[in-house]
Amino acid sequence: MLFSASTTLAVALGLGLTAASPIVGARAGGPAIIDGKAFQLAARGELGPLDPDNAASNAWVLGLQRISQGVYASVVIPRSRNKTENPTFYFNRTEPDGQQTLNIDIPGVYPLVATIGGRDQGTSSEQPSEHMVSFSPGGSGGTPGLYWFYRSPESIPLLGGGPARDGSWAVCRRSLPLPSGPAEFLQPFYIYEDETTPSGCVSVDWVVLCADMIPLKPGDGWNHDKAGDVKCVAQ
């Protein structure tokens, strides 16, 4: 499982499902949609121009980049054909009203929860519509209201919800502040309903791909009792 991400770095999941994409195997009548709890988030969008080195595979997933102790930025990484190597997420129902947060575990360390930058938290005054998605240890809150949904007339489960009723996602090539110095990554950003996709970025959806829940280690102080149910694309 790959881990690597900055506080208030926006969480965006982009999943590229095209006819030529290897993300979903060809099946009569379309991909198999089944019930699950754990999942991976595949970017659906034309990301090749942003990542020409991996354009031939045409498959990317949501991942994490460690920025500092307990601070991870969301990034978009090439999808491995070995699904156990791709980051695995789940919805955690901890809100009194039944809303869910997006979580990912580092077994033996802590669970991480996603926080989407607020409307007034763009990456800079020049890029006010780039709201980062960051992951931090579970007790630190997180953004509630995330879920899976079908967008009519499609029958593919996508990541939905967040701080805006009709928000969307974009992927941009941006620099992150690593301990060794700045480095460029594909990063997902949340776009509020009255904002537009930044220039040079690509609009994406996040396709929900079925995965196995990552087993916890003895002594871990959390569990998956409140993991939410999802519909997902069988891998």
Q: What is the CATH number of the domain that holds 98?
A: 2.80.10
Within-domain flag for 45: yes
Q: Average per-residue pLDDT in the chain?
A: 85
Cβ contacts of 78-86, under 8 Å, gap ≥ 24: 78/51, 78/54, 79/23, 79/40, 79/42, 81/22, 83/40, 83/209, 83/211, 83/235, 84/1, 84/212, 85/1, 85/2, 86/1, 86/2, 86/40, 86/61, 86/211
Within-domain flag for 21: no
* Structure confidence at residue 141 (pLDDT): 77
User: Comparing 10-19, 73-82, 145-154, 177-186, which segment has the lowest mean pLDDT?
Assistant: 10-19
Mean pLDDT within 49-55: 96
Within-domain flag for 14: no
Please say if the pLDDT value at position 18 is more than 60: no
Within-domain flag for 95: yes
Mean pLDDT within 15-40: 64
Q: For residue 131, which amino acid is it?
A: H
Within-domain flag for 120: yes
Q: The domain containing residue 174 runs over which residues?
A: 33-233
Letter string b/e over residues 130-143, b meaning 16 or more CB atoms within 10 A of that residue's CB: bbbbbbbbbeeebb
Number of domains in the chain: 1
Within-domain flag for 25: no
Within-domain flag for 5: no
Higher pLDDT, 130 or 233: 233
Cα separation, 73 vs 144, whole angstroms: 18
Within-domain flag for 13: no
